Amino acid sequence: MSKRTSAPQEPSNGGLSRQRRTYTIGELARMFEVTPRTIRFYEQEGLLAPERRGQARVYHEKDRVRLKLTLRGKRLGFSLAEIREVVEMYDAMPDGNARQLKRLLEILADKRANLERQLEDIRLMHRELDDVESRAREVLASLETESTGR
């Protein structure tokens, strides 16, 4: 098992091919700036399937790609179920196919629609806060005027 602390690169002549490259849990954790606990969680969720050698987990290139896709999905707000669906489609057709891409586009459209709804909710809440603040300032000014006028 070789050690690597930075993002994987294409092997130089005489190096291991990308398909035979293996990683420890610590290497992947450092590579993607996550904790080993995060990686074990994704394994429990069925998103990663490392080889076991005794107590040690041995991750292959496929696991590295799946972890990369999983973390990207989380950043985009995908649920674990959505990530699993996309990752499984990727495994079936790494270069993509029409069904896979259509489903990905559906998921992205749903995410975009949810963000638009959230943005509108935020705009409404902002207007309501402005209204409440304005009324509170008016009442406070009125109270201050009354107290100095007496």
- The DSSP call for residue 8 is -
In terms of Cβ atoms closer than 10 Å to its own Cβ (0-12, 13-18, 19+), residue 123 is: exposed
pLDDT digits (tens, 9 = 90+) for 76-124: 888 999 898 888 877 777 666 777 778 888 988 999 999 999 999 999 9
pLDDT at 136: 96
pLDDT at 19: 56
**What's the whole-model pTM score?**
0.63
